[in-house]
Every structure is written in structure tokens, then in C-alpha cells.
Amino acid sequence: MTPWIGPFLPLAALIWPLLLGALTAMPPLRPVAVRLLPLAPVPALWLALAGGQGVTAAPDLLLGVTLELDDARRLLLGMTAALWLVAALAAQPMTGRPHTAIFSGFWCLVLAGNLGVFLALDVVTFYVSFAAVSLASWFLIVHERTEKALHAGRVYIVIALAGEVALLVGLIIGADAAQSMAVGEIRAALGAPGSSAVGIALLVLGFGIKAGLVPLHVWLPLAHPAAPVPGSAVLSGAIVKAGLFGLVLFVPEGALGPVLMPLGLVGAFGAALWGLTQANPKAVLAYSTISQMGLMIMLVGAGGAARETVPFFALHHGLAKGALFLLVGVMMAASGRGRRLLCLALAAAVSASVAGLPLTGGALAKAAVKQGLADWSALALSLSSVATSLILIWFLARLWQMQGRDEALWGARFALPAALGVLAVTGPWLLWSAWSGHGPDYLFKADTLIDALWPVAIALPPAAAVLRWRLPQLPPGDLLLILGAWRGRAVRIPAPLSLRADADGALRAARRNSARLEGILIRWRLTGVLIPLLVLLMFALLP
């Protein structure tokens, strides 16, 4: 048996975090487990930067693991690795708090899964990675073990498990249709005319849950705020992208477009507006995430060039959203007016980028995807920026409301989101030409600028209004509130079918009767007559 074929780095990028995770379980390391976390994504980051040619195969692992790195995968891998690295650094203050060993262990597991999703070429590896992401991240959510966190965890695990099942069944259908385990062939087979729509539907269900596709998003606003800040950052920045990438990988070009696009738009606008009813800035960010993911899902649905450029969009959103979440943490650690203003400023800058203010990374991302869109959907995209600006302004307001107390190493803490922010705003510039096919000059054309600017401008008056006249403040979990809070219910089942291992009644009856018959037979009077009778009977029967 050969351990692996092809470049080793991709395999190492997956195994390394797992090893670290295992290490964190070692008693001596448990207290300082968090210190190991920044090391985990390093190989992956290196891989993303160095790039890798060719397929890595480990024929004996699982059902034969195969990994590869193309441009989209590389982009997302890099974004994920970077985000996880920064988040890990941001998590350092947790050292010494209770349960950090478990937290760290599963942190590594989720990371490995998250990277695996972007590297996997075969469906089994993909499924394994995806399962690791969605189920292990439960531990990130419930880490605080507050009642809120546990409730969020309950909701999450139920929905996530349902998603896993849908995914498994969908993938099985795909694998059977394709007679192969390769992701590409499965997508092709599912796209082929006459293939079962059930498979695609199940896949969309499974990935949509993770990607926060409306109406499967209900867990997200509960879970993301519940996790500790670094957790929220990776959840909202990187993990949701796993679901998105799943859609990109498996849902055939054009299939379900009419379903995905409207749902995406509903998410994009609905979530943004609902976010205005949230008090907790993390919840607001969670809703903004749903809204952004809605956009990306719409793009996937739209297909064509838009679909191709989704990773570019995802890159920006991941970094930016990570930065914003981390900023919430930094804000909590700041009391001085200066520091709080600094946070606000940075948050404003990143938000502006997300909203797509001209010349920001966000604007580039939107410009890149727009050119693949039909007019009406392009318009929708622009309009969504209005909603985005609205909710982000609301976020800034909520952020400013937060009161924190000073903590050590504030500078270092602030540096992390700052780095991410810078990356988010400037990163897209580096990749622009590669992903849009236009030169930088395209960005400075007037209509591009206008196109990016007017939505934000339109957003200002309503934003002011919202700040002036508050919307009713609601707890997170929109649809759940409508459906009524989720409660565990014991399953009621009729009594079991099983034989009774007891026959005493029958025994008593039998005893009585047998005694009676025996009493009759034992009388010679009777038997003595029986004998000749039997002789006659026998005689009659014989020739």
C-alpha cells in the first residue's frame, strides 16, 4: 500500500491541524492548548501562497483521498487559512480559561475540515471534511456554555445533522448517477438531462443550511453571536464559505437557478432589514452575513461568469467579516475614547468596503461579479448594497454603544482586525486583473464609480431615520420566533411488539384438565374396554 502519490503539501495541510488537535488533548499541553492554534493553518497558508500543481492521492485513506488546487480553490484556501491564523492569534487571550483544551482540539478539527472542503477532489473526502466542519463547529458555538449558547447549540446541531443526512443521501445519489466518486463527474452527471432532481434538491438543502440560504439560515443568527469572538469570526468568515463552495462544486451550471436566485435575493434584502431589529452587534453582523451569502447564492444561481467569480467575492467578504467580528472583540476590550474611536473608524472603513464604496475591495468584488449578470440582477445587486450599507451603519451604531473595560496588549489585539481589514480592502486589487479580465483603469471609469457610489448614498437618509426612530428590538432567530421556540420533545411510540415470556395462566388450566383426563383414563373399567375396542379397530384396518 502506498501512503500517497503526488505533492505531499496538500495532505500535510490537512494532517497537521489534526495532529495539533490531538496534541491539545495531551494533559501537559491542555492548559496552553490555545498557544498551538496559530500554528495550525500555517502549512495551508504556505500551500495557498506557493500554489500546488497536480493531484495528491492517498489511495488507502477513506475510500481513496484525492486533493487538488485550482485557482478558485487556492483563493478560498488562502482566505480561510489567513482568517483562521488571525482568529487563532485573536484567541490567545483565552489561554487559561476553562475548557480551552476542548475548544482548541475542535478548533483544529474544524480547521482541517474547512481546508479539506476546499482541497477535496473526491466526494468522500469532501463529505468527511464537510461533516467535520459542520459538526465540530458545534463545540465552538457552545463553548461559553451559557444558557443562550446551549440553546443556540441545540438548534444548530439539530439542523446541522439534518443537513448532513440530506448531504449524504444527495451525494450517494450523485455518486450512483456518475458511477464515480469524483466531484467533477458527479456535477456533470447531476447536470445531465433526466438525472433526478431529488439529488440536487438534497444537496442544495445540505449546503444551503451551512451557507445560510433562506429559509435554512435560522441557526445562523443564534450560533454566530453565541460563539466566542474568534469563533464567530471563523464561523461567519470561513465556515459559511464551505457551504457556498459546496454549491459551486456540486450544483450543475444553471440547475435550480430560478430557485436559488430569488431565495438569494430574499436573503440579501430580508436579512439585512431584519438585522436592523437586533441590538447585539454580533447578531447584526450575523444577519449581514446571511445577506451577503444571499448575494453569493444568487450569483451561483445566475451561473456563467458570475458563478465563476464567486470565490473572488467570497474572498473579500470572508476577510472583511472576520475583521468586523474581531473588532467587536477589540471594542469590548477598549474603554478609552481614543481607542473606541479607532475601532469605530476601522469598522467604518471595513463596512464601507463591504457595502462596496468605490475603490474598496468590496467595490472591486461587486464590479467583478456584475459583468457576468443580466441587467435586472445587476440592478438587484446594486440595490442590495443599499440594504448592506443600512445594516452596517446600524452595526456601527450598535458597536459604538458597547461599553468595555481595558485589557492588556490592546495594540496587538487591534492589529489583528486591522491587518484583516487592510487585506480585505486592498487584497482584491492584487487579484483584480486575474479575476475580472479588466485592467485597473476599468475601476476608475466614471460609471463604475457612480455605479458603486449611488447605493451607499441612497442608504444614508433611511439609515439616519433608523438611528433616530428605532425599530422594535427583537431577539435573534427570526423564523424561529415565528414558528415558536424549538423545544425537545420525547418521541411517543406505542408499546413494543414482543412475545410475553410468561404462560402461568395456561399452565394452571392445563394442570387442572390433564389431572382430570388422567383421572378418567386411569380407571381400568374404561381402559379395559378400550383395549378390545382398539383391537377391533386395528383388525378393521388390517386386510
Partner 1 sequence: MTGLLPIFILLTSLVPAAITFFLRQESYRLRNALNLGGAVVKGALIVAMLVAVAGGASFETAIPLAPGLVLLLRIDALALLFVSLSATLWLLTTIYAISYLGEKPEQSRFFGFFSLCVFATTGIALSGSLISFFIFFELLTLSTWPLVAHKQDAASLRAARGYLLYALPCSTILLVAIVWLESATGPILFTDPPDLSGVDPASLRVIFALFIVGVGMKAAIIPLHGWLPAAMVAPAPVSALLHAVAVVKAGAFGVIRVIYDVFGIERVAELGVGTPLAALASFTIIWGSLRALQQTEIKKRLAYSTVSQVSYIILGVALASPFAVIGGLAHLVHQGLMKITLFFCAGIYDERAGVRSIEGLDGLGRRMPWTSTCFSIGALGMIGLPPIAGFVSKIYLGIGGLQAEAPWVLAVLGASTLLNAAYFVPLLYRLWFREIAPDAEADERAPALVGPAVAAALAAVLAGMLAASDISPLGWATLISERDYLE
Partner 2 sequence: MTGPTLYALTGAALVGIGVFGLISARHLLRRVVAFNLIGSGLFVFLGAAGARGGAADPLPQALIITGIVVALSASALAVGLVVAHARASGRPALPEEDEEA
Partner 3 sequence: MSALVAVLVLPLAGALATVALPGRAARIAASTAIAATLAAALALAAWVAARGVPRLEIGGWAPPVGIAVEADGLAAAMIVMTATVMAAAGLSARHMLAPGAAGARAAFGFWPLMLLLWAALNAVFVSRDLFNLYVGIELLSLAAIGLVAIEGKAAALAAAMRYMIFALAGSLLYLAGVVLVYAAHGALDAGLLTDRTPARTDGLALALMTVGLMAKTALFPFHVWLPPAHGGAPAPASAMLSALVPKASFVILLRLWFDVMPDQATEGALALMAALGTAAVIWGGLAALVQERLKLIVAYSTVAQIGYLFLVFPLAGGASAEMPWAAGAWNGAVFLALSHGLAKAAMFLAVGQWMAARGGDRLEDLRGIATAMPMTAFAFALSSITLVGLPPSGGFTAKYLIMTSAFAAGQWGWALVMAGGGLLAAAYLYRPVAVIFARAEVPDSPLPSRGRQVVPLILAGAAVALGIASAAPFDLLSTGRPQAAGEGL
Residues at the interface with partner 1 (CB under 8 A): 1, 59-64, 102, 124, 127-128, 131-132, 135, 142, 145, 150, 157, 161-162, 164-166, 168-169, 171-173, 175-176, 198, 490-491, 493, 496-499, 501
# binding residues, partner 3 (CB under 8 A):
23
Q: How many Cβ atoms are within 10 Å of 506's Cβ, its own excluded?
A: 9
Q: How many Cβ atoms are within 10 Å of 229's Cβ, its own excluded?
A: 22
Q: Which of 63, 397 has the CB closer to partner 1?
A: 63
Binding residue for partner 3, selected from 145, 511, 516, 529, defined by CB under 8 A: 511
Q: Which of 161, 259 has the CB closer to partner 1?
A: 161
Residues 67 and 283: their CA atoms lie apart, in Å, by 36
Asked whether the beta carbons of 301 and 256 are under 8 A apart, the reply is yes
Q: Which of 29, 61 has the CB closer to partner 1?
A: 61
Supply the minimum distance, in Å, between the C-beta of residue 311 and partner 1: 25
Q: How many Cβ atoms are within 10 Å of 447's Cβ, its own excluded?
A: 7
Supply the minimum distance, in Å, between the C-beta of residue 514 and partner 2: 15
Supply the minimum distance, in Å, between the C-beta of residue 499 and partner 3: 13
Residues 6+ apart with CB under 8 A from 130: 113, 116, 117, 167, 210, 242, 246
Q: Is 65 helix (H, G, I), strand (E, B) or coil?
A: strand
Cell digits of residue 442: 476599468
Q: Does 493 bind partner 3 (CB under 8 A)?
A: no
Residue 23, classified by CB atoms within 10 Å of its CB into exposed (0-12), middle (13-18) or buried (19+), is middle
Binding residue for partner 3, selected from 254, 406, 514, 516, defined by CB under 8 A: 514
Q: How many Cβ atoms are within 10 Å of 411's Cβ, its own excluded?
A: 9
Phi–psi pair at 5, nearest 5 degrees: -125, 145
**Cis peptide leading into 10, omega within 30 of 0?**
no
Q: Which does 525 bind (CB under 5 to 8 A by kind): partner 2, partner 3, partner 1, none?
A: partner 2
Supply the minimum distance, in Å, between the C-beta of residue 128 and partner 3: 47
Write out the H or E segment, with its range, that includes residue 58: strand 56-58
Supply the minimum distance, in Å, between the C-beta of residue 504 and partner 3: 11
Q: Which of 468, 512 has the CB closer to partner 3?
A: 512
Q: Which of 337, 525 has the CB closer to partner 2?
A: 525
Binding residue for partner 3, selected from 440, 510, 516, 529, defined by CB under 8 A: 510
Categorise residue 58: left if φ over 0, alpha if ψ from -120 to 50, beta otherwise.
beta
Asked whether the beta carbons of 88 and 130 are under 8 A apart, the reply is no
Q: Which of 153, 275 has the CB closer to partner 1?
A: 153
Q: Which does 1 bind (CB under 5 to 8 A by kind): partner 3, partner 1, partner 2, none?
A: partner 1
Q: Does 534 bind partner 3 (CB under 8 A)?
A: yes
Q: Which does 403 bind (CB under 5 to 8 A by kind): partner 2, partner 3, partner 1, none?
A: none
Q: Is 122 helix (H, G, I), strand (E, B) or coil?
A: strand
Supply the minimum distance, in Å, between the C-beta of residue 356 and partner 1: 39
Give the dihedral sign, CA 32/38/40/43. negative
Q: Does 527 bind partner 3 (CB under 8 A)?
A: yes
Supply the minimum distance, in Å, between the C-beta of residue 106 and partner 1: 11
Binding residue for partner 3, selected from 379, 412, 521, 529, defined by CB under 8 A: 521
Supply the minimum distance, in Å, between the C-beta of residue 543 and partner 3: 6
- Output Rg (C-alpha) for the chain, integer angstroms: 31
DSSP string, 395-430: HHHHHHH------S-HHHHHHHHHHHHHHHHHHHHH
Q: Which does 164 bind (CB under 5 to 8 A by kind): partner 1, partner 2, partner 3, none?
A: partner 1
Residue 390, classified by CB atoms within 10 Å of its CB into exposed (0-12), middle (13-18) or buried (19+), is buried
Q: Which of 408, 506 has the CB closer to partner 3?
A: 506
Q: Are strands 56-58 and 65-67 parallel, antiparallel or unpaired?
A: antiparallel
| Residue 20-59 contact track with partner 2, rule CB under 8 A, x = bound | ----------------------------------------
Write out the H or E segment, with its range, that includes residue 66: strand 65-67
* DSSP-derived secondary structure letter, 84: H
Supply the minimum distance, in Å, between the C-beta of residue 538 and partner 3: 4
Asked whether the beta carbons of 83 and 116 are under 8 A apart, the reply is no
Q: Does 497 bind partner 3 (CB under 8 A)?
A: no
# binding residues, partner 2 (CB under 8 A):
8
Residues 6+ apart with CB under 8 A from 27: none
Stretch that binds partner 3, among 130-138, 404-412, 428-436, 522-530 (CB under 8 A): 522-530
Asked whether the beta carbons of 105 and 68 are under 8 A apart, the reply is no
Q: What is the footprint of partner 2 within residues 500-539 (CB under 8 A)?
A: 519, 522-525, 528-529, 532
Q: Which does 529 bind (CB under 5 to 8 A by kind): partner 1, partner 3, partner 2, none?
A: partner 2
| Residue 332-371 contact track with partner 2, rule CB under 8 A, x = bound | ----------------------------------------
Q: Does 198 bind partner 3 (CB under 8 A)?
A: no
What does the chain come to in residues? 543
Q: Does 537 bind partner 3 (CB under 8 A)?
A: yes
Question: Which residues make up the interface to partner 3 (CB under 8 A)?
Answer: 507, 510-511, 514-515, 517-518, 521-522, 524, 527-528, 530-531, 534-539, 541-543
Q: Name the site residues for partner 2 (rule: CB under 8 A).
A: 519, 522-525, 528-529, 532
